[in-house]
């Protein structure tokens, strides 16, 4: 029996079949790797400090989780893109939430003196749809916090603007449930798109995190300054605190402080680390190594490669294809 020769540039049934098989093998490999990460708790956790720009005290830390390096995924972003296309998003998010709370409290206890009770606030990235999940609302998180002696008043659920909320009235009721228990809400990436502004107005968060695209060289761009001023005026009238993300230079930090912005986060103030390290107002001018796009639950080693922190802060762009929304927990600024 003679088989047709494969002609370059022309479709081949054998070539198509090979690609289908190869794709199935890759998907299976990724599925096994994801299962292994969850089962063996292979996420690494980092904490990035949030500094009060006015009095230079530390408000708390954002928890960032990262999967281990693997030849199954091109990088962290590829990992979270794949995860967003699976039916294991909620399972993985629950694992990340438990890991974040457990490791934050262990890190806090390692650094505190006997009898000292630090008032550190922990920011945990959460997908809006996960907050509405019945298991999340049944008191699972409160029970987890009690196990580690962490009161809800010290926990902030951080939502990213790319994770669009379709029914704001219903989601407001969901958030009321958590607020009644003491939890607070932060809206991330404010100013990066229309949906973030709508989310801020509708959900009235306790914290607004300004997107780093607004903060970069803010003192040199009048249009960005106007946008920040508008958000600042809204925050002042609604009892909301502002956190400027992505601060990479002393000039940015000084300008934000002079404008009355209360809190800041970024490489110039404190890099993500496996321990709770204090944030510090930059003493000397100099631009920190540029920060990459928000990441998500990151990690592999204590030395963080900024180019790999791209996915951190659970940002599943493809999540909307299966759950009507995009994004997940994110990370680092």
Q: Contact 330/294 with Cβ under 8 angstroms?
A: yes
Percent share of the chain, pLDDT over 70: 71
User: Across the chain, what does the average pLDDT equal?
Assistant: 77
CA–CA dist 52, 14 (Å, integer): 62
The residue ranking higher by pLDDT, 274 or 18, is 274
| Weakest-pLDDT range from 62-71, 72-81, 264-273 | 72-81
Is 1's pLDDT higher than 90? no
> For the purposes of burial, counting CB atoms within 10 Å of the CB of 148, is it exposed (0-12), middle (13-18) or buried (19 or more)?
middle
| Domain spans, the chain | 43-323
| DSSP helix/strand/coil, 249 | coil
Model confidence over 6-18: pLDDT tens digits?
555 555 676 676 6
Q: Can you tell me the mean pLDDT for 137-157? A: 87
In this predicted structure, the answer to whether residue 333 has a pLDDT above a threshold of 70 is no
Residue 43's pLDDT is what? Answer: 87
The CA–CA distances, whole Å, from 52 to 82, 91, 156, 244, 263 equal 36, 35, 16, 10, 4
Q: Is the pLDDT of residue 322 over 50?
A: no
Question: What is the mean pLDDT of the segment spanning 226-255?
Answer: 93
Distances (CA, A) of 163 to 96, 235, 317, 320, 328: 17, 21, 9, 8, 7
pLDDT at 286 over 60: no
What per-residue confidence (pLDDT) applies to 326?
33
pLDDT at 92 over 70: yes
Cα dihedral: 317, 141, 134, 48 (round 10): -10
pLDDT of 69: 84
Confidence of residue 85 (pLDDT cuts 50, 70, 90): confident
Q: What's the pLDDT band for 265 if we cut at 50, 70, 90? A: very high
Mean pLDDT across 276-297: 63
CB 232 within 8 A of CB 200: no
Per CATH, domain 43-323 is 3.20.20.450: yes
Distance CA 183, CA 205 (A): 11
Q: What is the DSSP letter of 43?
A: -
């Amino acid at each position: 029996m003679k088989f047709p020769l494969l002609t370059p540039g022309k479709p081949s049934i054998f070539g198509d079949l090979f690609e289908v098989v190869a794709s199935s093998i890759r998907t299976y490999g990724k599925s096994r790797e994801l299962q292994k990460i969850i089962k063996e708790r292979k996420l690494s956790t980092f904490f990035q400090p949030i500094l009060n720009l006015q009095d230079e005290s530390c408000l708390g830390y954002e928890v960032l989780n990262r999967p281990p390096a693997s030849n199954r995924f091109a990088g962290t972003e590829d990992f979270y893109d794949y995860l967003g296309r699976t039916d294991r998003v909620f399972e993985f998010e629950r694992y990340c939430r438990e890991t974040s709370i457990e490791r934050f409290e262990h890190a806090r206890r390692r650094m505190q003196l006997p009898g000292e009770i630090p008032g550190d606030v922990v920011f945990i990235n959460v997908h809006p749809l996960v907050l509405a999940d019945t298991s999340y609302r049944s008191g699972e998180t409160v029970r987890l916090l009690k196990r580690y002696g962490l009161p809800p008043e010290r926990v902030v659920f951080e939502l990213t603007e790319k994770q669009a909320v379709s029914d704001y009235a219903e989601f407001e009721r969901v958030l009321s449930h958590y607020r009644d228990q003491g939890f607070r809400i932060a809206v991330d990436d404010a100013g990066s798109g229309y949906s973030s502004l709508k989310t801020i107005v509708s959900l009235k968060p306790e914290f607004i995190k300004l997107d780093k695209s607004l903060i970069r060289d803010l003192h040199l761009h009048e249009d960005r300054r106007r946008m920040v001023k508008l958000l600042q005026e809204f925050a002042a009238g609604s009892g909301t605190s502002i956190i400027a993300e992505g601060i990479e230079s002393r000039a940015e930090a000084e300008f934000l402080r002079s404008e009355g912005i209360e809190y800041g986060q970024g490489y110039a103030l404190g890099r993500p680390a496996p321990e709770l390290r204090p944030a510090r107002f930059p003493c000397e001018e100099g631009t920190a190594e540029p920060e990459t796009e928000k990441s998500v639950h990151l990690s592999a080693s204590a030395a963080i490669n900024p180019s790999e922190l791209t996915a951190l802060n659970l940002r599943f762009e493809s999540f909307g294809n299966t759950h009507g929304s995009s994004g997940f927990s994110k990370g680092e600024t």
